[in-house]
Structure 1
Amino acid sequence: MSTYTTQKDAARKGIVTPQMKNILATESIDETSLLEKVAAGQIAIPANRNHSSLLGAGIGTGLRTKINVNLGVSEDCCHVESELNKVRRSIELKADAIMDLSTFGDTRTFRRKTVEISPVMIGTVPVYDAVARYGKDVGAITVDDFFDVVRMHAEDGVDFLTIHAGLNQSAVERLKNNPRLTNVVSRGGSLLLDWMHRNDCDNPFFTHFDRLLDICSQFDITLSLGDGLRPGSLHDATDAAQIQELIVLGELTKRAWAAEVQVMIEGPGHVPLNEVVSNMQLEKKLCHGAPFYVLGPLVTDVAPGYDHITSAIGGALAAANGADFLCYVTPAEHLRLPDMDDMKEGIIASRIAAHAADVAKGIPGAIEWDNKMSHARKELDWKKMFDLAIDPEKAKAYRESSQPIDSDVCTMCGDLCAVKRSRAILEKA
């Protein structure tokens, strides 16, 4: 029988779990630091006891910045096998986590299959599934209905749950007193806002938070406290409603930690570039150093079709200044359900942002990857360059599409290649 309830409880007792051993083998962190940070809540290790195929990974201070991929079926695009292929492809492209955001059809079969085939952590938003599963008007869903779905996701092996528990009556009052340009853009947040309005009572996950903690503790689920009032436009960033919800999330974090439940905090979606750093500082301060999971942030609202770029800009700056986990954004954001190509573009953009941030914050080993690439470029070693590339497929395709006369160089400079010329003078003279 296990001598600990959660990864946090194990760390507090000095127990190195199998998942921690995975982290120690793949990250540049020592055992003492890992135990201290997990015990303090600065690192979360999402690892449901029922997720048998999982390879443990950590999110938080001193670790590589992780990236998440959103997928799942919807009423308009209900192609289960296509979404499972996205799961497989996401893993090939080295995503660190997958969130199943399915809202239609046989969601449980898809969720269980995703957990079964995935060695990376899996997250869900139970409120979405409550709507899909019961087929009821939102206002008719009961508190027990909500919690039955939470328990079902726990039993199915989900490693982290997004729960918008901080969107309570006080936060809604702030929203009403400070009107927004884009109101509420969080799908889970809007569903709970609707439920609260129709039932004239507070958020059931806020009111019954201890009930939620009991489930998380039983299955060792990490609670990802969702930002139901995240800004959906630059105009609404860092406003009273967003900050009010963040204050509540900080208070709920302490309650979760007291129950040995691990916590992540979800952060803003659209933020002007000059406010990104202050948003990171606010979260870390108000939420006591808990790992921060940012949804972008997108740094401009005017680039539909290119939001993987606006997100990567914001994500790199966010992660360099405290964010620990980036949710990918694809070129299809705001436009449609992403296809396989969109998904790849989003994953690569987020991985670039995460790595750039790891270099900036001095994660051990991060810049060595860049140094190896630079050495391969100096040597004009094309095979090694492809092996080191974050997207070898695209790098090879570009190279093969335009062949030079001299196979050492590329068609940009040809015989005027600065690398080849300077090397001949400085190293081979």
Structure 2
Amino acid sequence: MTYTTQMDAAKKGILTKEMETVARKENMEAAVLMDLVAKGRIAIPANKNHKSLDAEGVGEGLRTKINVNLGISKDCRCVDTELDKVRKAIEMKAEAIMDLSSFGKTEEFRRRLVEMSSAMIGTVPMYDAVGFYDKELSEISPEEFLKVVEKHAVDGVDFMTIHAGINRETAGIFKRNSRLTNIVSRGGSLLYAWMELTGNENPFYEYYDELLDICRKYDVTISLGDAYRPGSIADSTDASQIKELIVLGELTKRAWEKDVQVIVEGPGHMSLNEVAANMQLQKKLCHGAPFYVLGPIVTDIAPGYDHITSAIGGAIAAANGADFLCYVTPAEHLRLPNLDDMKEGIIASRIAAHAADIAKGVPGAREWDNSMSKARAELDWEKMFDLSLDPEKARRYRAESKPAHEDSCTMCGKMCAVRNMNRIMDGKNINILREDD
């Protein structure tokens, strides 16, 4: 029996090799996984042309995944520098990499990225359109926008952010309800500008069926972008954001009718007390589709530390139903991230994802922590390093400040509670001021 997409296969009861891979990684029964893929509650982004992919699932009952943003810009256009980031991101076990290149002919970087990456690859075709055609924004036709989407699909991109929910109707809501930071989504702002300049409907909304046909042909997962995501905590959960979310829910059902997998994107900047409710709103309005969040960034005052503000929001979001976290680096709002920024962002996001997985009861999550706790109780430093999210940093910190006694550290020395409890429990003496007997 043949199939077109992972969702089509699941509806027909066909267990694909990608489903087998995800079921094994997640310790989930293949039949359960297949049922959730068929219902749209799990997506397995896996373009037919991405041959190096090691498939991952995003959605209900699975580990929370993280995405790393990369790509060239007009001010930072070195492809080799970005490819170094790709290698490091894969080494650090990021499940997804998004190419957000926004300058010139991006095809070289995108093709090399897909060829070398075992992680799923995402793009935002809207960013590429101006450089692809070498035209000003208002001169690009709806047909040309769709051709860029197909180009990315042919190149092997697994999921694409498509801002289809920003249309003439939602633009009216935005105009009638003022915001502190207007539209901060790059793709969303470009489409809003295109609609204003041309007087036409958003081509990704008007020609959504044609877009779905492209995605079905190559099995591209649509990541429905949130053009009206709040860019400040003042704008969160407002009329524009919620109205767009309602439209995204409608577009989700239309995609599923054509067997196209969907991920829905969410906020954005948002105060802590609103995060859980927003996750519940998304799951309800978008029919349980996987939810992909940027942050949320829970305070606006920490440039240089937004990997931390994002990790706080991301942990709460994922614990309350978000399935996919887009990393945020210390460079957010300031510059294109360098390699060190990227590493900090990955670690912060992985901490948030894992903390949420513990809260959600994801199989195996708590066992990792229990193993670390056992290693600490035994003062087994090498095992602690091996179990660390960042073994390199843990080893370096230990090496930089060596204690006089190996069964302690330079913070507590022989007053170490773990060391002393181990000795007492073994019936040994504790000598704080003198050498041990």
2:237 is aligned with 1:252: no
CA contact (8 A) 1:175 1:240 kept: yes
Matched residue, 1:383: 382
Are 1:127 and 2:130 counterparts? no
Inter-partner Cα distance in structure 1 for 2:5 and 2:15: 12
Query: How far apart, in 2, do the equivalents of 1:330 and 1:298 lie?
Result: 11
**Rg larger in 1 or in 2?**
2
User: Contact 1:28 / 1:63 at 8 angstroms: preserved in 2?
Assistant: no
Separation in 2, partners of 1:186, 1:365: 36
Shift in Å, 1:427: 4.6
> Which residue in 1 is equivalent to 2:185?
186
When the two structures are superposed, what TM-score results if normalisation uses the length of structure 1?
0.99
Whole-Å Cα distance in 2 between the matches of residues 325 and 5 of structure 1?
Answer: 25
| Mapping of residues 15-34 of structure 1, within 5 Å | 15-34=14-33
Deviations 1:315-357 (A, max 9, x none): 0000000000000000000000000000000000000000000
Q: Tell me the amino acid that sits aligned with residue 372 of structure 1.
A: S
| SS, match of residue 283 in structure 1 | helix
1:326 aligned partner:
325
Distance in 2 (CA, whole Å) between partners of 1:338 and 1:56 is 27
Paired residues, what number?
Answer: 428
In the other structure, the counterpart of 1:347 is 346
Q: Counterpart in 1 of 2:10?
A: 11
Residue 313 of structure 1 corresponds to which residue in structure 2? 312
- Aligned positions of 1:59-74 closer than 5 A: 59-74=58-73
Unaligned runs of at least 5 residues, structure 2:
429-437
Deviations 1:197-244 (A, max 9, x none): 011011100000000000000000100000001000000000000000
Matches of 1:382 and 1:199 in 2, distance apart? 63
**Equivalent residue, structure 2, for 1:136:** 135
Q: Distance in 2 between matches of 1:33 and 1:319?
A: 21
- In structure 1, the partner of 2:260 is 261
Asked if the contact 1:67–1:95 (Cα under 8 Å) also holds between the matched residues in 2, the reply is yes
Tell me the residue number matched to 1:335.
334
Aligned to 2:222: 223
**In structure 2, distance between residues paired with 1:59 and 1:306:** 27
Equivalent residue, structure 2, for 1:395? 394
| Structure 2 CA distance for aligned equivalents of residues 428 and 29 of structure 1 | 45
CA distance in 2, matches of 1:337, 1:66: 22
Q: What secondary structure, in the 3-state scheme, does the structure 1 residue paired with 2:98 have?
A: strand
1:17-416 correspondence to structure 2 within 5 Å: 17-416=16-415
Cα shift readout 1:107-161 (whole Å, capped 9, x = no counterpart) = 0011000000000100000000001212211111111110110000000000001
TM-score by length of 2: 0.97
Distance in 2 separating the partners of 1:216 and 1:4: 14
Matching residue's letter, 2:72: V
> Deviation of residue 426 (structure 1)?
2.6
Query: Contact (CA 8 Å) 1:166, 1:225: kept in 2 or not?
Result: yes
Structure 1 range deviating more: 339-348 or 166-175: 166-175
Q: Which amino acid aligns with 1:137?
A: E
Q: Distance in 2 between matches of 1:192 and 1:422?
A: 63
Matched to 2:114, the amino acid is: V
> What is the rounded CA distance, in whole Å, between the counterparts of 2:341 and 2:426 in structure 1?
44
For the residues of structure 2 that align with 1:275 and 1:427, how far apart are their CA atoms? 50
Residue 14 of structure 1: CA displacement?
A: 1.1
* CA distance in structure 2 between the partners assigned to 1:184 and 1:304 by the alignment: 19
C-alpha distance in 2 between matches for 1:300 and 1:199? 36
Deviation at 1:105, TM superposition (A): 2.6
CA distance in 2, matches of 1:52, 1:361: 32
1:261-297 residue CA offsets vs partner (Å, 9 max, x unmatched): 0000000110100000010000000000000000111
Q: 2: distance between equivalents of 1:109 and 1:332?
A: 25
Q: Secondary structure, in 3 states, of the residue corresponding to 2:89? A: helix
Letter in 2 for 1:350: S
Distance 1:421 1:123, change over 3 A: same
Structure-2 separation of matches of 1:322 and 1:184: 25
1:312 touches 1:350 (CA, 8 Å); kept in 2? yes
Structure 1 counterpart of 2:235, which letter? Answer: D
Q: Distance in 1 between matches of 2:184 and 2:111?
A: 28
Of 353-362 and 24-33, the range deviating more from structure 2: 24-33
**For structure 1, which segment, 123-132 or 2-11, has the greater mean C-alpha deviation from structure 2 after superposition?**
2-11
Rounded Cα–Cα distance in structure 2 between residues aligned with 1:282 and 1:147: 30
Deviates more, 1:202-211 or 1:101-110: 101-110
- Seen in structure 2, the aligned counterparts of structure 1 residues 428 and 47 have a Cα distance that, compared at 3 Å, is farther
Q: Is the 8 A contact 1:42 1:291 kept in 2?
A: yes
Identity of aligned residues (%): 65
The more displaced of 175-184 and 102-111 is 102-111
CA distance in 2, matches of 1:106, 1:201: 27
1:169 deviates by 1.0
The one-letter amino acid of 2:120's match is M
Distance 1:132 1:354 in 2: 35
For the residues of structure 2 that align with 1:427 and 1:184, how far apart are their CA atoms?
63
User: What amino acid does structure 2 have at the position aligned with 1:256?
Assistant: A
Separation of aligned partners in 2, 1:356 and 1:30: 24
CA distance in 2, matches of 1:227, 1:396: 41
Q: Residues of 1 paired with 2:337 and 2:381: CA distance?
A: 32
Gaps (5+ residues) in structure 1?
Answer: none
The alpha carbon displacement at 1:428 in A equals 4.8
Give the match's secondary structure for 1:94.
coil
Aligned-partner residue type, residue 347 of structure 1: I
Q: What is the distance in 1 between the residues matched to 2:131 and 2:74? A: 9
In the aligned structure 1, how far is the partner of 2:81 from the partner of 2:426? 52
One-letter amino acid of the structure 1 residue matched with residue 291 of structure 2: F
**Structure 1 consecutive aligned stretches of length 4 or more whose deviation exceeds 4 Å:** none
Counterpart residue type for residue 99 of structure 1: M
In 2: Cα distance, 1:264 partner to 1:60 partner? 9
What root-mean-square deviation, in Å, do the aligned CA atoms of Structure 1 and Structure 2 show? 0.8
